[in-house]
Amino acid sequence: MADNSKKLSAAEIQFKKTQQAIEGKQAMAQYEADAVATRKKTERLKALRLARDAEEAAAAPAVVPKKKKAAKKAKPVAARADTLSEWWKDQKEDGRTG
């Protein structure tokens, strides 16, 4: 009787291993099928998005860039103050200090 239970246990173990292998193959096949479906869906959505963006760009009015205000011209190097008091005077004239 002991031999039968050992054989049965070994048979059950082998059966479980076979079942796990089959289930693993099925799970992997399902995973790969899901990945393919996701890639196809992503490609389709990307194509739709690009088409929508192109349509919107064609329908949108041309944007005219605003002109930038002319920057204040810096004083030439020769005209810069040589002393601190002259520098302070220039700063006050430019409205930078009170």
| H helical segments located in 60-83 | none
Provide the pLDDT for residue 31. 97
pLDDT in tens, 2-14: 567 777 788 899 9
For residue 64, how many C-alpha atoms fall within 13 Å in the half-sphere facing its CB? Answer: 2
Per-residue confidence (pLDDT) for residue 50, from 0 to 100 = 96
Does 68 map to a domain?
Answer: yes
Please give the average pLDDT of every successive group of 10 residues along the chain, which has 98 residues.
73 93 97 97 97 91 76 63 81 77
Residue 98 is assigned to a structural domain of this protein: no
Full domain range(s) for residue 87: 2-93
Residue 59 lies in a domain: yes
φ/ψ region of 13 (left if φ > 0, alpha if ψ in -120 to 50, else beta) reads alpha
- Tally of domains in the chain: 1
What is residue 80's predicted lDDT score, i.e. its pLDDT? 64
Residue 64 lies inside a defined structural domain of this protein: yes
Q: What pLDDT score does 74 carry?
A: 66
Let me know if residue 67 belongs to a domain. yes
